[in-house]
Amino acid sequence: MSRAEFEENSKTLLKRVVRPVDEVLLAANLTVESLNKVEMIGAGWRVPKVQEILLAHTKRPILDKTMNGDEAFCFGAALYAASLSTAFRLRKFGVHDITQFPVSIDFETGVADSPVEEEESKEDGKSDEPAPSSTDKKNIKLFKIGHKIPAKRLLSFKRDEDLTFTMKYDGELPAGTPNVIAQYNITGVPAAIARYPNASKPKISVSFRLTRSGLVDVDRAEAALEEMVEVEVCRYVKANASNATQNATNSSNTTEASTAETDKGTANETEKDSVKVEDTAEKKVEEVKVCSMKQEKRVHRVSLRIVAEAPVIKPFNASQIRAAKAVLEGYDERESKIRERASAFNALESYIYVTKEKLESNEDLIAVTTKEFRETFTEQLTKMNGWLEEDGWNADTATLKEKLSELTSVGDSAFWRSKEMIERPDIVKKAKEMTLQTDAALVNISKERSWLNKSHIEVVSNKTQALREWLENMTAAQDAHPAHEAPLFTKDDVVRRVMSVDEAMKALLRIRRPAPPPPPPYKKSDSKSKSKDKKNATTTPPPEDSGSADSEKPNAPADGEQSPPSENGDTGNSSTPKEELR
């Protein structure tokens, strides 16, 4: 695709490049001429057409690229997140988050119930509220676009009824986003008035909070009621002036607040003078307590109840759930087909490039193919690559798989011969080593397992010898066989014959030693005769024959030696009858 074609196909997207610039300038109340620098971040600015559009719109000679556009916003977001966390300590830097959508409230009330006091957060001390009108429905702006967060706002109302208002977003919102945040009911005002019946009309204060997450909520609400009450004020005066003070008190029950303050100051001075101790005890003056009634203003603050009614999202019914599942299944099926086609396209493209490279440079593949095969197959791969670049982009999955099958039917046999040529000699070598190890094992088995006869050993030895001869003959024949033709034997053939010898060896090792012959049958008469002979032998002493003692006793000790003691403690050369039975 050429750059002109790319720009033509992206025309609708390129028209949206300048829209964020205009929105930012409008929100900041700036013009293009007041810009001193235009810094580029992100990846989209790398497109030359995007840079051209921005240069023309901002009327700048060049675009500034002093920062790493791909990493700047990532590092900034990570740094700001670390500053909000309590796990890190960072030096304070001037970064403030702002809200993207304005928030206001709507409430229905009379003229007398219009807000009388507004307090904003420290970041914004200006008030952009309209003057109270005689309409019943009013809108008050809480937080405008670009307001720093976090922030708070306090509104006060003069009213004697409960307050109900709706909090909502103003301006344009993303598609599908409801503009109503919640409806709030501030209740408890009539109960507060009933609690303090002599108080004036209450003032309701509602505090709004904009969190770091950009969410707006009602933080607290309270009613302030002012009431004038009579309180008793007492002071201390001198005894000689108490009569005059008492007369003045009785003559007028109501005293102005200024007079009371003056009297209080005089009393304080009198108290200070009375603290002074005279040089003589006779000058001490006794003080008395004088009380009077006074009007005083008191403010009663009552917390009000806040009830939020967010928009209720109705759950799906059965038909809606089935429809939603059908939509999701359709998405999954479409994505599965897209992935399957992409996989088939990539497999065909990869097979073409890898096979062409191996036909040119892989020595093992060259060894098992002819020159004519390589030229013909390379030409076929080249034609398939041309078709893939021209028509393959629009081909479906079945066509791509069919094209790949055409190539693999030709090339897989060559790759298989190459793989056999590499792996078969190693398998043959290991098989020959196994035959030698089997012969050595048979020699040891014939010595250690005497119950195995020659025929048992020959079963394994014959298989081993046959395998050895087969390997020698097939290896010699394969060496003389053309490499580009199918091999005379494969590594799988060798493995099968080796497994046959291994099974014969396992069968030989499973032959167990034969069981010993059973003992002769037990007879009761033989047991009685043996016990009788044993009894006679223990009671009758053996005959003595001095003349033939030396000849009948082959184990007699030599001269000067003493025969071992018998069980009775005597020494002699003859064994006892008990020892003979043993």
Span 130-178, pLDDT tens digits: 444 444 678 888 898 888 888 999 998 888 888 889 999 988 887 777 8
Whether the pLDDT of residue 343 is over 90: the answer is yes
- End-of-domain residue from the set 196, 226, 256: 226
Looking at the fold, whether 130 and 56 belong to one and the same domain comes out as no
Which has the minimum average pLDDT: 28-32, 314-318, 538-542, 571-575? 571-575
Residue 258 in any domain: the answer is no
Whether the pLDDT of residue 347 is over 60: the answer is yes
- DSSP state string for 189-222: HHHHHHHSTTS---EEEEEEEE-TTS-EEEEEEE
CB proximity list for 43: less than 8 A, separation 6 or greater = 69, 70
Cα–Cα dist 244/258, whole Å: 20
**Cβ density class 385-413: b for 16+ within 10 Å, e for less:** beebeeebeebebebbbebbeebeeebee
Q: Which pLDDT belongs to residue 530?
A: 57
Domain containing 391 equals 336-513
Span 420-438, pLDDT tens digits: 999 999 999 999 999 999 9
Looking at the fold, whether 362 and 456 belong to one and the same domain comes out as yes
Looking at the fold, whether 45 and 136 belong to one and the same domain comes out as no
Give the distance, in angstroms, between the CA of residue 521 and the centroid of all CA atoms in the same chain. Answer: 79
Looking at the fold, whether 491 and 342 belong to one and the same domain comes out as yes
- End-of-domain residue from the set 201, 226, 251: 226
Tally of domains within the chain? 3
Looking at the fold, whether 469 and 401 belong to one and the same domain comes out as yes
Beta bridge partners of 120: 153
Span 261-295, pLDDT tens digits: 444 444 454 444 444 444 444 445 577 877 888 88
Higher pLDDT, 107 or 343: 343
State pTM to two decimals: 0.45
Residue 89 in any domain: the answer is no
Looking at the fold, whether 350 and 435 belong to one and the same domain comes out as yes
SS3 content of the chain, % helix, strand, coil (to 5): 50, 20, 30
Residue 116 in any domain: the answer is yes
Looking at the fold, whether 347 and 432 belong to one and the same domain comes out as yes
The SS3 assignment for 563 reads coil
Whether the pLDDT of residue 188 is over 50: the answer is yes
Percent of the chain whose predicted confidence (pLDDT) is above 70:
76
Give the distance, in angstroms, between the CA of residue 129 and the centroid of all CA atoms in the same chain. Answer: 46
Residue 108 in any domain: the answer is yes
Which has the minimum average pLDDT: 251-260, 484-493, 501-510, 514-523? 251-260
Residue 278 in any domain: the answer is no
Looking at the fold, whether 382 and 509 belong to one and the same domain comes out as yes
Span 95-141, pLDDT tens digits: 778 888 899 998 876 544 555 445 444 444 344 444 444 446 788 88
Looking at the fold, whether 362 and 495 belong to one and the same domain comes out as yes
Q: Which pLDDT belongs to residue 355?
A: 94
Q: Which pLDDT belongs to residue 460?
A: 92
CATH code assigned at 415: 1.20.1270.10
CB atoms within 10 A of CB 149: 19
- DSSP state string for 86-101: SS---------EE-SS
Instruction: Let me know if 156 is exposed, middle or buried by CB neighbors in 10 A (0-12, 13-18, 19+).
Output: middle
Span 44-55, pLDDT tens digits: 778 889 888 988
Confidence of residue 379 (pLDDT cuts 50, 70, 90): very high
Range from 310-314, 479-483, 560-564 that averages highest in pLDDT: 479-483
Beta bridge partners of 15: none
Residue 427 in any domain: the answer is yes
Residue 260 in any domain: the answer is no
Q: Which pLDDT belongs to residue 524?
A: 61
Average pLDDT, the chain: 78
Looking at the fold, whether 487 and 394 belong to one and the same domain comes out as yes
Residue 152 in any domain: the answer is yes
CATH code assigned at 163: 2.60.34.10
Q: Which pLDDT belongs to residue 235?
A: 82
Beta bridge partners of 309: 183
- End-of-domain residue from the set 226, 251, 268: 226
Q: Which pLDDT belongs to residue 286?
A: 72
> Is the separation of the CB atoms in 545 and 552 below 8 Å?
yes
Looking at the fold, whether 454 and 344 belong to one and the same domain comes out as yes
Looking at the fold, whether 364 and 420 belong to one and the same domain comes out as yes
CATH code assigned at 37: 3.30.420
The SS3 assignment for 124 reads coil
CB proximity list for 449: less than 8 A, separation 6 or greater = 511, 513
